[in-house]
Amino acid sequence: MTLPENAFDADAILDGILEWAAVESPCHHLAGVNNMMDLAAGEMEALGAEVERLAGLGGMGDCIVGRLAGSGNSDTPGILVLSHLDTVHEVGTLDERLPIRREGDRAYGPGVLDMKGGARLGIEAMKALQGHARSSKLPVTFMFTPDEEVGSPSSRERIEAEAQKHRYILVPEPLRPWGAIVTGRHAVQRFAVRTHGRPSHAGLTKAQGRSAIAEMARLIVRIEEMNDYDREVTYSVGTVHGGTFVNVVAVDAQAEALCIAPSAALLEEVRTNMQALAGEADGVRIEIEQGLVRPVAEQHPKTMALYEIAKGLAAEIGLELEQCRSGGGSDGNFTGALGIATLDGLGVAGAGAHTFEEHLLISSLVPRCRLLAALLETLDE
């Protein structure tokens, strides 16, 4: 039987989320990310977990792993609750574009939706179980990572190694905007795009130069024109840099592109299309370098069986639990691709992820926390 609604306090849950949101932690800000890891470690210790801190790799922050024994066999594969504590919001966002505030049912702040809110829900769910002298049957491991927003370059191997010790993976990324949780993820592929031109004096000898920036501008249009929304294949150029001085025809420009594809075959098509852009003409060279990839996470039988359990538990607490395959990568791509039962999008409801309107819905906190607690308590061998 699931915990009753009065076992949870929405204001207390929100206070914890906003405390975390007040710590700015873009992934390249090591002090902020590791401050978040300190807070997560403290929460794990308060739950009685055995806490392991994994030193950061490749210039990224640390990872925190907290392990809790279940009431059953401690050696059996258990449940991994997988969260990231980095955000896309740069230091200063709190003071300028996205101050923490509450407006009716909405609470605003950097990372409240993606995904400090969901990370807190997992902790609050376990706290509620312990507070009512209840526990999980299976061992539960919480893992907090520092670099999901840049593709998990330092934590992917750690995530995959940890996941393979477990039977179930719960990922409290945000609930989809239309109210569904995620049972499968599209592939995500990053590309580095570079143009190399010929410098000249922009005022005296402009015609002798070949602008890398001008070529990049044309190239961006070509990339964006490849979007195929009907097939859920998208191409997005997210960052652009180039040039040295305004009076010099730019010799170099760089951009990053993020591409989404719902299947391995369409991902290969994306790669072919992007590589076809490389070449040299009229004194300008274009380079395309394939970067980090999140593999397709299929809706395989183990995940769908886990979804049916979650759907039944949700019905007990008055939730109609819909599911979907989704674009937008997460670390659930890795675990789902390994064939491990993975439920993603189990976090808070809201909108505006990655924007200055990012907010969660306070009314979602208790129902979503109740569902996580029910999953932690119910899942068995």
Choose the weakest-confidence range: 96-100, 218-222, 325-329.
325-329
State whether 258 and 319 are in the same domain.
no
State whether 290 and 316 are in the same domain.
no
* pLDDT (0 to 100) of residue 39: 98
pLDDT at 58 over 90: yes
CA atoms lying within 13 Å on the CB side of residue 248? 11
* pLDDT (0 to 100) of residue 29: 97
Query: Look-up: residue for tokens 């979907």?
Result: 324
Q: How many residues does the chain have?
A: 381
The last residue of a domain, from among 238, 269, 294: 294
Q: Give me the phi and psi of 180, to 5 degrees please.
A: -100, 150
Distance CA 379, CA 381 (A): 7
* pLDDT (0 to 100) of residue 314: 97
- The CATH number given to whatever domain includes residue 166 is 3.40.630.10
pLDDT at 159 over 90: yes
User: 104-158 pLDDT, tens per residue?
Assistant: 999 999 999 999 999 999 999 999 999 999 999 999 999 999 999 999 999 999 9
62 — pLDDT class (breaks 50, 70, 90): very high
Compute the mean pLDDT over every residue in the chain, rounded to the nearest whole number.
97
State whether 139 and 32 are in the same domain.
yes
Distance CA 85, CA 87 (A): 7
State whether 28 and 156 are in the same domain.
yes
Buried b (16+ CB within 10 A) or exposed e, 296-328: bbbbbeebeebbebbeebbeebebebebebbeb
Q: What angle do the packed helices 116-131 and 10-21 form, to 10 degrees?
A: 140
Distance CA 56, CA 54 (A): 6
Tell me the pTM: 0.94
State whether 227 and 284 are in the same domain.
yes
State whether 191 and 141 are in the same domain.
no
* pLDDT (0 to 100) of residue 223: 98
Dihedral angle over CA of 273, 279, 285, 291, nearest 10: 40
State whether 212 and 170 are in the same domain.
no
* pLDDT (0 to 100) of residue 381: 85
Question: How far, in whole angstroms, is CA 41 from its chain's centroid?
Answer: 20
The last residue of a domain, from among 273, 294, 315: 294
Residue type, 200: S
Total number of domains in the chain:
2
* pLDDT (0 to 100) of residue 334: 98
pLDDT at 339 over 80: yes
* pLDDT (0 to 100) of residue 218: 97
Percentage of residues of the chain with pLDDT beyond 90: 97
161 CB neighbour count, 10 Å cutoff = 9
- The CATH number given to whatever domain includes residue 280 is 3.30.70.360
The last residue of a domain, from among 248, 263, 294: 294
Report the candidate in 91, 84, 92 with the shortest Cα–Cα distance to residue 60.
84
CA distances from 156 to 150, 250, 286, 370 (A): 11, 37, 30, 29
Give the structural domain span for 257.
187-294
191 — pLDDT class (breaks 50, 70, 90): very high
Distance CA 187, CA 234 (A): 11
State whether 18 and 115 are in the same domain.
yes
328 — pLDDT class (breaks 50, 70, 90): confident
pLDDT at 71 over 90: no
Strand order in the sheet with 284-294: 234-242, 252-261, 187-196, 284-294, 279-281
Distance CA 67, CA 372 (A): 17
Provide mean pLDDT across the span 84-93.
97
* pLDDT (0 to 100) of residue 32: 98
184 — pLDDT class (breaks 50, 70, 90): very high
State whether 148 and 167 are in the same domain.
yes
Q: Are strands 187-196 and 166-171 parallel, antiparallel or unpaired?
A: unpaired
73 — pLDDT class (breaks 50, 70, 90): confident
Provide mean pLDDT across the span 259-266.
97
